[in-house]
Structure 1
Amino acid sequence: MEEDKKEEIEIVKVTEELIKAKTYEVRGYKVMLDFDLAKIYGYSTKAFNQQVKNNSERFASDFAFKLTKEEVNNLRSKNLTSSWGGSRYLPNAFTEQGIYMLMTILKGDLAVKQSIDLVRTFKKMKDYILENRELIGQRKLLQLSMETTNNRIEISKINSDDDEKWLMYNAKFSSADEVYASIYRQAKVSIYVVDNYIGLRTLVHLKNSQSGVSIILFSDNVGNNKLHNIEFTDFCKEYPNVKISMQKTGGIFHDRFIVLDYGISKYAPVIATLLKNPTLILPR
């Protein structure tokens, strides 16, 4: 009994190697299985699946599904699942989106820690994809980049120390992502953003702008998460109604400015200066 208890609270280190080793292909999806995820999160498999059952409305068929007996036998025959032992139950499989959804329902200090480590690991895997983008089709790259960024924004609220920033906006605290999306939706004619530290997350915010609004990003594109040309190009293909161009700040302006509907703003002289700067060329 004591041994079982110890196994349940054993902390599993989340690494890229672990994720790859515990990922299987079923029905055309890359999935992780309930007993592996339960172990990562410090739950017994039974308690883990009960949490999923209690929140079943959150798990669409492309988020999670139960394996058939044939699928289980197929995985066993490939020696991918030696840890199953003699279990006869049909496990639940979770796609990437399902794993992100798990992060919003599993509670406790260990679950939060493991969720953060999973987010960071997926981020590293996304960075690897970018560094090796010549090996991957552009459409697949955009899909992976956008899904990873969108999902990180959605689940970043699980811990305020993990990239998520909070702002006082309209007399209440809101996540920075919600604030930016709300601000950009207000523009009727133009949005000018001055920010040297742009990234794919910036584009995800700007896709909330109204159709037809002209957007210019003024940036020298520095920092660890700089935007790459392939991300920007494919974003524009995916969201043709979002009209974005980019120009340099020239090292003069560093703080973040957001100017909506330029011409009636007190920041008009700042923007007038920036508009004379050359086009920003993104790294490949």
Structure 2
Amino acid sequence: MQFQIRKDMHMNDQKNELIPVEITVETLKAKIYMVRGQRVMLAADLAEIYGYTTKAFNQQVKNNIEKFEDDFRFQLTAEETADLRSKFFTANINPKSRYEPYVFTETGIYMLMTVLNGELATRQSKALIRTFKQMKDYLSHDPLLSDSANIASLSLQISENTREISEIKDAMVTKDDLTKVIQSFSLPDKGIEYVIYAGQTFEADAAYADIYSKAKKKLYIVDNYIGPKTLLMLKSVPANVDIIIFSDNLMNILRLSELQAFQAEYPNVKLSFQRTGGKFHDRYIILDYKARTEKIYHCGASSKDAGNKITTISKSDNKELYHPMVDNLLLQPALRLR
């Protein structure tokens, strides 16, 4: 739920009178802009959502300025402000202000949730989290977003929620209500077995991100049904890890243009593809094959679909049992996307 402040009310004079307006994917999308290659929201729009005047909202941020680095919040240049005004006539920018407006990245919005107090702030944070989740699902499944580059870039920005929420959880320990919401997105286990229930797409993303982040040198993914989200999840992989996706790309869900869009945005991801030879039904994740840190996981669902239905990811204790299977995969020819 969103609230707008009556223009004749001031926070220092009396309690704000709020007019509730429903937050939906469509209304929130209208308040998200592309600046410097990333999606941001204006401080003025966030102030309205949280029931503050822009001045009071900015003061709250200044009181906690050490939490907002440049990748969380930044001030627009005069050129960026003019460009935003020219493209979006309804952008919430005060033409009388002597200063250029500030904007918040999605990371900054989650940090913002840790510094705003009160029942309204907690309620609005919950509403934002739920709406961001709906937007993530929309970007993944809306057939109108069939342009490959759009899917790769748009989905990626919102898919960052899980790791960013996890990184700032420690700052939320005194925010009981909000912490309970954030904890529902936490990693579902200790890395041995993950149980993911229907509807837990955030938990599923967290599970795969957690596993991928453990790779030291090599990451092998065996999955015959791959798509754009398969690539998006690879941003959790540490640098200098060689990634091979073994797949026959059944139904041709992943296209060459989508791979090219991903590689353009993440040129440091070392990724190649090989076929499976038409012999695989199950999915596997192999970390650091035949190294001391080797781990092998059996996955019930593809990473792109996990969270849609109940599924599990289990780590195998008998790694040697899988070595003949992996050795055979390494002999398979390259997969050529179309």
Per the TM superposition, whether the score is higher than 0.5 is yes
Instruction: Evaluate the alpha carbon distance shift between residue 127 and residue 229 of structure 1 in structure 2; reply closer, same or farther with a 3 A threshold.
Output: farther
Equivalent of 2:46 in 37, 49, 52: 37
Q: Any residues of structure 2 matched to 1:164-243 within 5 Å, and which?
A: 165-169=187-191, 176=207, 179-185=210-216, 187=217, 190-196=218-224, 198=226, 199-206=230-237, 208-210=238-240, 213=242, 215-219=243-247, 227-236=254-263, 238-239=266-267, 242-243=270-271
Match of 1:65 in 2: 75
Write the distance in 2 (CA, Å) between the matches of 1:217 and 1:26. Answer: 33
CA drift at 1:117: 0.9
Structure 2 counterpart SS, 1:216: strand
Q: Does 1:106 align with 2:119?
A: no
Q: Does 1:6 align with 2:18?
A: yes
CA drift at 1:114: 0.9
Task: Say if 1:67 and 1:91, in contact at 8 Å, map to a contact too.
Answer: yes
CA drift at 1:18: 4.4
CA drift at 1:222: 7.3
Instruction: Evaluate the alpha carbon distance shift between residue 43 and residue 200 of structure 1 in structure 2; reply closer, same or farther with a 3 A threshold.
Output: farther
Instruction: Evaluate the alpha carbon distance shift between residue 3 and residue 201 of structure 1 in structure 2; reply closer, same or farther with a 3 A threshold.
Output: same
Structure 2 counterpart SS, 1:124: helix
Superposed CA offset, 1:141-179 (max 9, x none): 765554444x334334473445x5433049xxx953663
Structure 2 counterpart SS, 1:257: strand
Question: Unaligned 5+ residue runs, structure 1?
Answer: none
Task: Say if 1:195 and 1:256, in contact at 8 Å, map to a contact too.
Answer: yes
Match of 2:57 in 1: 48
Write the distance in 2 (CA, Å) between the matches of 1:92 and 1:159. Answer: 29
Write the distance in 2 (CA, Å) between the matches of 1:39 and 1:255. Answer: 46
Match of 1:272 in 2: 327
Match of 1:132 in 2: 147
CA drift at 1:65: 1.4
CA drift at 1:245: 1.7
Task: Say if 2:43 and 2:101, in contact at 8 Å, map to a contact too.
Answer: yes
Structure 2 counterpart SS, 1:258: strand
Structure 2 counterpart SS, 1:256: strand
Task: Say if 1:219 and 1:246, in contact at 8 Å, map to a contact too.
Answer: yes
Write the distance in 2 (CA, Å) between the matches of 1:200 and 1:13. Answer: 30
Write the distance in 2 (CA, Å) between the matches of 1:26 and 1:210. Answer: 29
CA drift at 1:25: 8.0
Write the distance in 2 (CA, Å) between the matches of 1:82 and 1:232. Answer: 36
Larger % of helix: which? 1
Structure 2 counterpart SS, 1:64: strand
**2:282 is aligned with what amino acid?**
H
Structure 1 counterpart SS, 2:134: helix
Task: Say if 2:44 and 2:92, in contact at 8 Å, map to a contact too.
Answer: no
Instruction: Evaluate the alpha carbon distance shift between residue 254 and residue 240 of structure 1 in structure 2; reply closer, same or farther with a 3 A threshold.
Output: same
> TM-score, structure 1 length as denominator?
0.64
Write the distance in 2 (CA, Å) between the matches of 1:25 and 1:235. Answer: 18
CA drift at 1:201: 3.0
Superposed CA offset, 1:56-111 (max 9, x none): 2424188321677xx69x959x9636896x9767573315xx24311222151321
Task: Say if 1:66 and 1:90, in contact at 8 Å, map to a contact too.
Answer: no
Write the distance in 2 (CA, Å) between the matches of 1:28 and 1:255. Answer: 34
Q: Any residues of structure 2 matched to 1:72-151 within 5 Å, and which?
A: 75=85, 80=90, 90=99, 92-94=101-103, 98-107=105-114, 108-121=122-135, 124-125=138-139, 130-133=145-148, 144=154, 146-149=156-159, 151=160
Task: Say if 2:215 and 2:287, in contact at 8 Å, map to a contact too.
Answer: no
Write the distance in 1 (CA, Å) between the matches of 2:61 and 2:145. Answer: 33
Equivalences, count = 256
Write the distance in 2 (CA, Å) between the matches of 1:240 and 1:26. Answer: 23
Instruction: Evaluate the alpha carbon distance shift between residue 59 and residue 75 of structure 1 in structure 2; reply closer, same or farther with a 3 A threshold.
Output: same
Task: Say if 2:224 and 2:248, in contact at 8 Å, map to a contact too.
Answer: yes
Task: Say if 1:192 and 1:218, in contact at 8 Å, map to a contact too.
Answer: yes
Write the distance in 1 (CA, Å) between the matches of 2:89 and 2:334. Answer: 54
